[in-house]
Amino acid sequence: MSNNTIEFRNVVKRFGDKTVVDNLSFHVRAGECFGLLGPNGAGKTTTLKMLLGLAEPDAGEISLCGQTIPSGARFARQRVGVVPQFDNLDPDFSVRENLLVFGRYFGLPASKTRAMVPELLEFARLENKADARVGELSGGMRRRLTLARALISDPDVLILDEPTTGLDPQARHLIWDRLRSLLTRGKTILLTTHFMEEAERLCHRLCIIEEGRKITEGAPSELVANEIGCDVIEVYGSAPSALRDELAPFAARTEISGETLFCYVHDAAPVNARLAGRTGLRYVHRPANLEDVFLRLTGREMQD
């Protein structure tokens, strides 16, 4: 196909009458961190399953590490580490044993895996937990162990399905830090997330998918500049529609989501001036971010 590490070309996946992945194309270059963003149920996990050869597309072509998927999937998986969405560490084993047993699945000799364990434990900041059972670990530790386990075969590519969902902020930042250090070591990363901050911090490029369709693709800063291109003032604490009528003439665009009014402004001064001093209102002026892009493209209102 090409020398992209990951390539999806016009991939379609249906479950019965429902098309869950709809003509999806994207590619990930070696050494890049690429994000698949989308609301729950957008088809992210199905996309990863197809990439790993664990679900067959109904149409389209997929390649991973130079292998055609699904026929060459098991050879491709030799060079890939996976961090799944739901914890699947082995509860019957200690932290160390989880790593040792996993190495076997890659056909690695025990001596080689054993030699790698201290480094992986250090990477995952689990040096003191080597003999702890998985059940004794916190959520963040479990995620880090899953990440360390994915690295047991020293893979070129890491595939992470919502790597920080359910983690507290400290744990999340530690995972981000670890992922960045992997990028500096030249690993290619594909991750799915619905945390915009995560995508903005980590991803070189990303694509936003909704109902299995790609709705946009690009570098985070590019997307923010192209899709929003101005600052945002968020106002909450009052009836948003009345406020909208008042502020709309001074904003490039306005949007309401729940009880919050979003004013997209090139010049914040007139809006700020009208809001200043009002009681019962809270407002914040900030640069546009990926969340604005995401919400704008997928709709501000909750979908489920």
Partner 1 sequence: MDAPPYDTDARAHRAVGRASRMGLALPANATNWIAVWRRNYLVWRKLAAASMIGNLADPMIYLFGLGLGLGLMVGHVDGVSYIAFLAAGTVGSSVMMSATFESMYSAFSRMHVQRTWEAIMHTPLTLGDVVVGEIVWAASKAVLSGAAIMLVAGMLGYAQFPSMLLALPIIALAGLAFASLAMIVTALAPSYDFFMFYQTLVLTPMLLLSGVFFPLKQLPEAVRQGAMVLPLAHAVELIRAAMLGRPAANVGVHVAILVAYAIVPFFVCAALFRRRLMR
Contacting residues toward partner 1, per CB under 8 A: 15, 49, 52-56, 70-71, 73-75, 77-78, 80, 82, 84, 86-93, 97, 101-102, 104-107, 153
For residues 142 and 87, is the Cβ–Cβ distance under 8 A? Answer: yes
For residue 287, the minimal CB distance to partner 1 (Å) is 38
Min dist. Cβ of residue 250 to partner 1 (A): 52
Nearer to partner 1, 188 or 254 (CB): 188
* Cα dist from 7 to 192, 210, 227, 237, 280, whole Å: 16, 19, 25, 46, 51
Nearer to partner 1, 84 or 166 (CB): 84
Q: Using CA atoms, how far apart are residues 7 and 16, in angstroms rounded to an integer?
A: 25
Q: In what order do the strands lie in the sheet with 188-193?
A: 80-83, 157-161, 188-193, 33-37, 205-210, 213-218
Q: Which is nearer to partner 1, 157 or 235 (CB)?
A: 157
Q: Which is nearer to partner 1, 88 or 221 (CB)?
A: 88
* Distance (Å, whole) CA 69 – CA 80: 13
Nearer to partner 1, 79 or 205 (CB): 79
Quote the least distance from Cβ 165 to partner 1, whole Å: 16
Q: Which is nearer to partner 1, 60 or 237 (CB)?
A: 60
Q: Considering the complex, what minimum distance in angstroms separates the CB of residue 104 from partner 1?
A: 4
Q: Which residue has the tokens 């249906």?
A: 14
What is d(CA 26, CA 209) in angstroms, rounded to the nearest whole number?
A: 11
**H or E element in which residue 176 lies:** helix 169-184
Q: Given strand 59-64, what is the order of strands in its sheet?
A: 18-28, 6-15, 59-64, 67-69
Q: Considering the complex, state which of residue 107 and residue 277 has its C-beta at the smaller distance from partner 1.
A: 107
**Could you tell me which of 125, 127, 130, 103 has the C-alpha nearest to residue 114?**
103
CA distances in angstroms from 272 to 36, 221, 232, 250, 278, listed in the order given: 35, 25, 11, 10, 11
Q: What minimum distance in Å lies between the beta carbon of 8 and partner 1? A: 18
